[in-house]
């Protein structure tokens, strides 16, 4: 079963699908080892981890695809990948969809911002026209239907620029075109969340960003509202930053962190035991 097929199976099951955000192979493997069924690779976290730059369209298609290829190769569960605007016109969107499928992603997210795009929970966003937005999603769906083994998530940022009426209309149209999942980014209240979930058919995703524009609600409440997928795109990164800054401050003060993982655990996570077994198997007498 391909990763796309696994994700379709998960979406068909009852209950909400909770996806932590990964940004490299190690974070993805930690998510898998913790027992989660899938993960989300977002542009914000990858831009920060790989380049140390803000999520403002500075990272390229090739860099995102390369990061995704490493992530998908490190785990054996579905990963949803952020495809931003598709990195160009509708033809570029198709290349992005096929490239993400080749990298191993189970699903690619395509949004309706103009380039350079911005993080959905920061100011200054601008959206493409309806025609361009719908053409992007149609091109993505056509690439999927033409043989790319990947699901399509269609995202709109129209709520921040044009209001909920436009955002809901776009999400409805995305679903009609054939997107497997829709994503109305940054609703600012539970009322807006409920409207989206009641008026747009199909699977819907909620984006829980600590300190973001949307209400930060527990996953069971989001499921009751009508969401099928809930992502936490920067939670692991925020936890890691806090732990690393605490450790650095302790060492700078002459001490040493007390809450470190064991070196043997790190060796296990990255696969030293399996490597040693293979080394023995192929040892030359």
For residues 181 and 134, what is the distance between their CA atoms, to the nearest angstrom? 15
For residues 73 and 108, what is the distance between their CA atoms, to the nearest angstrom? 16
Per-residue pLDDT tens over the stretch 172-219: 999 999 999 999 999 999 999 999 999 999 999 999 999 999 999 999
Q: Give the whole-number percent of the chain exceeding pLDDT 70.
A: 100
What mean pLDDT, rounded, does the chain reach? Answer: 96
| Contact (Cβ atoms closer than 8 angstroms) between residue 127 and residue 120 | no
> pLDDT at residue 285 above 90?
no
Per-residue pLDDT tens over the stretch 80-108: 999 999 999 999 999 999 999 999 999 99
pTM given for the model: 0.95
> pLDDT at residue 119 above 90?
no
pLDDT band (50, 70, 90) for residue 124? confident
Strands (E), the chain: 17-22, 39-41, 79-82, 107-111, 151-156, 181-184, 203-207, 229-232
pLDDT band (50, 70, 90) for residue 221? very high
pLDDT band (50, 70, 90) for residue 141? very high
- Domains belonging to the chain, first-starting first, are 3-242 (3.20.20.60)
């Amino acid at each position: 079963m391909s990763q796309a097929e696994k994700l379709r199976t998960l979406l068909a099951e009852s209950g909400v699908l909770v996806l932590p955000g990964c940004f490299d192979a190690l974070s993805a493997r930690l998510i898998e080892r913790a027992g989660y069924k899938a993960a989300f690779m977002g542009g914000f976290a990858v831009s920060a981890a790989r380049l140390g730059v803000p999520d403002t369209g500075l990272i390229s298609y090739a860099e995102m695809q390369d990061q995704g290829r490493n992530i998908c190769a490190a785990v054996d569960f579905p990963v949803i990948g952020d495809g931003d605007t598709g990195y160009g016109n509708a033809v570029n969107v198709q290349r992005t969809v096929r490239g993400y499928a080749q990298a191993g992603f189970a699903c690619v997210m395509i949004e309706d911002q103009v380039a350079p795009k911005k993080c959905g929970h920061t100011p200054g966003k601008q959206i493409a026209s309806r025609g361009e937005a719908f053409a992007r999603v149609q091109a993505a769906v056509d690439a999927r239907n033409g043989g790319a083994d990947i699901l399509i998530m269609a995202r709109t940022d129209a709520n921040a620029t044009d209001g909920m009426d436009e955002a809901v209309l776009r999400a409805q149209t995305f679903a009609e075109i054939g997107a497997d999942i829709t994503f109305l980014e940054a609703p600012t209240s539970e009322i807006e969340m409920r409207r989206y979930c009641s008026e747009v058919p199909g699977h819907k995703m909620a984006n829980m960003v600590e300190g973001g524009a949307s209400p930060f609600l527990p996953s069971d409440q989001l499921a009751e509202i009508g969401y099928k997928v809930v992502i936490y795109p920067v939670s692991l990164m925020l936890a890691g930053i806090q732990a690393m800054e605490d450790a650095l401050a302790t060492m700078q003060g002459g001490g040493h962190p007390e809450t470190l993982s064991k070196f043997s655990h790190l060796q296990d996570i990255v696969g030293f035991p399996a490597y040693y077994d293979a080394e023995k198997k192929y040892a030359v007498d």
